[in-house]
Structure 1
Amino acid sequence: MVTIKLIGIIIIIIGFLLKLDTIAVVIVAGITTGLVSGLDFFTILSTLGEAFVKTRYMTLFLLTLSVVGILERNGLKERASKCIGDMKSITTGKVLTMYMIIRTLAAAFSVRLGGHVQFIRPLIYPMAQGAGEKKNGALSDDKNETIKGVACAVENYGNFYGQNVFVASAGVLLVVGTLQELGIIVTPYSVSKAAIPVAIIGLIFSVIQNHMLEKKISKIGGESK
């Protein structure tokens, strides 16, 4: 009788194979699994509602994604590139370094700022690319891909190392919980305090990497394929 509780998986597989509505298939699978497990209908609905509330931030992400897509279609990337190209003495390395500082500070104060989809693709990468083209002319595909990779790396550095500076971040709580299970008693404050020099080292490393990127794209100049 335990095997019948896996009927929800079968429903999902069949629903996906028949290309039925995804949300409807998942809801039907969840309700069916709950019923065969002995739960009453209202308990099942309550569980589904709690799961939706806990994952509501995913819905916000999907809304953000669609908004960014509309803005890109209407020339957001081109506008960002043009704006940065109008600034004097701006370079690719400076653009990425400024974003690294902002991203690290935002993560340290638990401010939801940044993201590959929300910031890097539509704003930071076009700005860095525009700064490089202003100084060196049209860049090759290889150099553009390098700029794109470093821009994504800057996002990762700032988010990964900056968030642990915030005493109540998920990463800090995970470290505290893991160490406590191993018999090592630490406080979130001590973990955050130890994360500060690591964040500073990450920032210095990013500055060096951005400087090396600037030298690389300026070495030969603005050739294009």
Structure 2
Amino acid sequence: MQAHPSLLTLFGLAVIVIGVGARINIMLVIILSALTTCLCSGVSLVTAIATIGHYFTANRYMTILWSILPLVGLLEHAGLPRASRTFIGRLGVSTPGHVLWLYFLLRQISAALGLTSLGGQAQMVRPLLAPMVEEAGERMGRRAISEELSQKLKAEAAAVDNIAVFFGEDIFLAVASILLMETVLENAGLRISPWHLSFWAIPSALMAAIVTYVRMKRLDQAIGRRSEP
């Protein structure tokens, strides 16, 4: 049986899964996935490359964000993680869960106001949040944390940032996801105001906040049990 052309384009998704699983350079994986999707849809290689080039140049303003990465690297080299550790010590925040919960609230509120660029993995979690959480862990246990716990806290910091912005940004009326949902529903014959979509995103955001609070309490309890003699 011959596969439908629209199903063949799913090979692009398979390329992403295999590439990420094999830990290949993510930019290379994305480009190969885009080429695979184009080729499986029936277009020529030249047309596929031209299409990728067209959308790259049409959205070239997005590359401005890449200029942040060298700046973050310079700040890390200049001692930004050490400064963040000192800062969290002066605040008197006693546990990693408290640090992560406070950041979650700030991140979700800012995302709900449309300020999604205030946080992020590269510019906030790695140079600032992760060192703060590790410092709080050391203060809580009154000793240096293990490598396993360090990786655990870094993963929790990254997860908190993702969850907060994911459930918080839909509260903002003009976010792309709200406009996309309105368009999809309208094409399906359902007319729903963006105000309604934004309003009903609030219960999900509150539930995410409650679940995160419980998870952070359990994280502190687990760290407390590890630090017991």
Q: TM-score, normalised by structure 1?
A: 0.73
Alignment of structure 1 residues 95-174 onto 2, 5 Å: 95-111=99-115, 112-136=117-141, 137-174=143-180
In the alignment, the residues of structure 2 paired with residue 51 and residue 153 of structure 1 have an alpha-carbon distance, to the nearest angstrom, of 29
Aligned to 2:90: 86
Aligned to 1:218: 224
- Matched residue count: 178
In the alignment, the residues of structure 2 paired with residue 222 and residue 58 of structure 1 have an alpha-carbon distance, to the nearest angstrom, of 48
Q: Higher RCO, 1 or 2 (CA under 8 Å, sep at least 6)?
A: 1
| Structure 1 residue 52, shift from structure 2 partner | 3.8
Q: TM-score, normalised by structure 2?
A: 0.72
Contact 1:138 1:222 in 2 (8 A): no
For residues 88 and 51 of structure 1, do their structure 2 counterparts lie closer, same or farther at Cα, with a shift above 3 Å needed?
A: closer
Which structure has the bigger radius of gyration? Answer: 1
In the alignment, the residues of structure 1 paired with residue 63 and residue 161 of structure 2 have an alpha-carbon distance, to the nearest angstrom, of 20
In the alignment, the residues of structure 2 paired with residue 148 and residue 221 of structure 1 have an alpha-carbon distance, to the nearest angstrom, of 18
In the alignment, the residues of structure 2 paired with residue 152 and residue 95 of structure 1 have an alpha-carbon distance, to the nearest angstrom, of 13
Aligned to 2:80: 76
CA RMSD across the alignment: 2.2
For residues 152 and 216 of structure 1, do their structure 2 counterparts lie closer, same or farther at Cα, with a shift above 3 Å needed?
A: same
| Structure 1 residue 205, shift from structure 2 partner | 1.0
Unpaired runs of 5+ residues, structure 2, are 1-45
Which one-letter code corresponds to 1:78 in the other structure? R
Contact 2:107 2:165 in 1 (8 A): yes
For residues 89 and 64 of structure 1, do their structure 2 counterparts lie closer, same or farther at Cα, with a shift above 3 Å needed?
A: closer
Q: What secondary structure sits across from 2:114 in the alignment?
A: coil
Q: Which is further off, 93-102 or 213-222?
A: 213-222
| Structure 1 residue 121, shift from structure 2 partner | 0.3
Unpaired runs of 5+ residues, structure 1, are 1-32, 38-46
| Structure 1 residue 53, shift from structure 2 partner | 6.1
In the alignment, the residues of structure 2 paired with residue 104 and residue 142 of structure 1 have an alpha-carbon distance, to the nearest angstrom, of 28
Q: What secondary structure sits across from 2:200 in the alignment?
A: helix
Instruction: Determine what percentage of the aligned residue pairs are the same residue.
Output: 30
Contact 1:133 1:222 in 2 (8 A): no
Q: What secondary structure sits across from 2:159 in the alignment?
A: helix
Q: What secondary structure sits across from 1:220 in the alignment?
A: helix
In the alignment, the residues of structure 2 paired with residue 152 and residue 144 of structure 1 have an alpha-carbon distance, to the nearest angstrom, of 13
| Structure 1 residue 116, shift from structure 2 partner | 0.4
Q: Say which of 175, 183, 192 aligns to 2:181.
A: 175
